Amino acid sequence: MKLRTKLWISFGCIIVVPIILLIVFANLLVIYQLNVINETYNIESTIEDIFPNPTRLFNRLTGEIQKTIQLEIEQDPDMFQRQETLEELSDQLKSQNTSLVVRKNNQIIYSSSDDLTELYDKLPLYGEGNNEVLNGRYFGGKETRLVKAQDFEFSDGAKGTVFIITSLNSWIPELKTMVIQLVVAVIFILILTAAIFSYWIYHSVLRPLNQLKDATKNIKDGNLDFVIEADERDEIGQLCIGFEEMRQRLKESAEEKLQFDADNKELISNISHDLKTPITAIKGYVEGIMDGVADTPQKMDRYIHTIYNKANDMDRLINELTFYSKIDTNRIPYTFSKINVADYFGDCAEEVGMDLEAKNILFSYYNYCDESVMVIADAEQMKRVINNIISNSIKYMDKPQGKINIRIKDVGDFIQVEIEDNGKGIAQKEIPYIFDRFYRTDSSRNSAQGGSGIGLSIVKKIIEDHGGKIWASSKEGTGTVMNFVLRKYQEVHNE
């Protein structure tokens, strides 16, 4: 869900949810308080009695007392001259915020409240308010009051009036409680709603932002070993996902740099070691010549020939190092052209055969491809592939009579080149790694074979850049077969 959608939902819910909750709570609260009022005052009130005209409820509160007074006056009109009876009635009315006033011949003979003196002159005269006994008359001022009058005659013929005066400014306690509860409910519901949706927004926005803040601090400190989890798929979640991908790439780059530095150190170490051996030999033979040890033409020729071979070894190592730098920057200078398979590999076999014969290694070459088969390749780089593989075979040759065979096969849309030797072989667990840079099956730097460990990685790079594939099969003590394939060149005829 998008962040904008969440904000709109949150905004709408903060408005709608409190309204719905308030309506539900208000209805439940009114129902509860109405039941309390009805039980407390023994009346049957409804919501219409309270809202919007609460004075109707006050009328009903004193209705029963009015009826009682009417009946008792008819039987005993002098009851309002007895103090005990008046106090009893006053106590009944007091709980309903109502006061009792008795007037005889225009003179107030009893009042249950001292706050009604300013109202005495406004009370209806005898005969004026008797018809308002049910509904009463309202008086304003500082305090609004509902006055109900009941006229009667005392036993001595004096005219009397009983006034029931209810204060409308003081609601009954239950109504006050209802208002307080509604106010508290409004505050509680608003706080609860705001808290819920604030937490939702916090969880959706602030929590991921805090995660990103911690992530930037870790990256600044060089720590990339952590994970940024995205719980949502909104804009912030996508930002977290992008940040996590960036962290992974930074970590991969850092690991690659560390590996690159380690590889370079190993390469320098290997090259230094491998260069030191021929240089030491060259210095030794040169010193022998200078000291006059090579005192015959035969010795001199052997010394010079050995120096020449060692110089060639150094040249080969330097060429490997130069070519490695081109591989690392993807700047290998390829010159692709159409090559006849039979002619090209035949010439390579002839050249390789002469070198192997000089090293007393038996060499065989077999071509099973048609004379017309062509491939698109770089002739110089393919020769490098052949020479590197054969040099590797010679390096690990451990038999008194070494053998190397080259076979060229036709395998459908490809030609397959097999270079087989009878050397020491490669352990099965090491075969998957022999094309990795700087990998040597004999990692000892004091190994008689030496080598930089990049020869086969160069071979793999060249073959893959030609769109081919290379692999090896081997058996320890028997020998190794290197295989690579190249796609045939096929003419496209437009009809």
Least confident of 10-14, 84-88, 384-388: 10-14
pLDDT level of residue 417 (50, 70, 90 thresholds): very high
Is residue 9 within 8 Å of residue 201, measured between CB atoms? no
Query: The tokens of 5 are what?
Result: 């959608």
Using CB atoms within 10 A of its CB, is residue 348 exposed (0-12), middle (13-18) or buried (19+)?
buried
* 141/343: higher pLDDT: 343
Sign of torsion, CA 56 53 55 47?
Answer: positive
Question: What does the pLDDT look like over 122-134, one tens digit per residue?
Answer: 888 888 766 554 5
Neighbours of 349 (CB within 10 A): 19
Least confident of 289-293, 362-366, 410-414: 289-293
What lies within 8 Å, CB to CB, of 369 at 6+ separation is: 341, 342, 408, 409, 410, 415
Domain boundaries, the chain: 3-50+175-203, 78-170, 225-331, 338-487
Is residue 326 within 8 Å of residue 332, measured between CB atoms? yes
DSSP 3-state assignment of 467?
coil
Question: What does the pLDDT look like over 107-121, one tens digit per residue?
Answer: 899 998 888 888 888
Element housing 419 (H / E): strand 414-421
CATH architecture of structural domain 225-331: Orthogonal Bundle (1.10)
CATH architecture of structural domain 78-170: 2-Layer Sandwich (3.30)
Model confidence at 458: pLDDT above 80: yes
Fold of 338-487: Heat Shock Protein 90 (3.30.565)
Question: What does the pLDDT look like over 228-245, one tens digit per residue?
Answer: 776 666 677 778 888 888
